[in-house]
Amino acid sequence: MPRLLVPALLATLPALSAFAAEPALEARLPLKPEIRKVLDNSCVFCHGEVIDGKKETRGDVDLSTDAEIKATVTEIGRFKQYILEDKMPHKPKLSKRLRDNAELQARLTKLKADYDKNGEKAVLLAWLDDVVATTGDKKDH
């Protein structure tokens, strides 16, 4: 019986490697408390927060935990590019249910103001200082 397990395990290794985070991201996990604070304050609202029983995951990215970041952020260079281009936080790309909710819109407006006022962009860019920002053919966030 053990002889059958070895080929089965070897067959699963390529599939498991597909879930491995890229080295530049892996090196940044676990997140430092100041980065977790910025993500929780400015990003999780659209990328991982449960609102009215439904989890927000715009662009299939979930930033709510280190494990979710590792599983859903496939290109840290693209993440940096969105920050550089001020695409995040970005009001027009919200889900319809968030766009249609005045209370959530007010929360987003405050979140964006706090992001700017608190210099959170600079904190994220310092965290990603050696990451090369990338663009590409992938559908824009």
How far apart are the C-alpha atoms of 39 and 60, rounded to whole Å?
A: 16
**Domain residue limits at 94:** 21-127
In a domain, 1, yes or no: no
In a domain, 110, yes or no: yes
- Output the tens digit of pLDDT for each of the chain's 141 residues: 455 444 444 444 443 434 557 899 999 999 999 999 999 999 998 899 998 888 887 778 999 999 999 999 999 999 999 899 988 776 555 667 777 888 888 888 899 999 999 999 999 999 999 999 997 554 444
pLDDT at 54: 85
Number of domains in the chain: 1
In a domain, 13, yes or no: no
In a domain, 16, yes or no: no
Using DSSP, state whether 47 is helix, strand or coil.
strand
In a domain, 96, yes or no: yes
pLDDT at 13: 40
* Residues 6 or more apart in contact with residue 140 via CB below 8 angstroms: 87
pLDDT at 102: 87
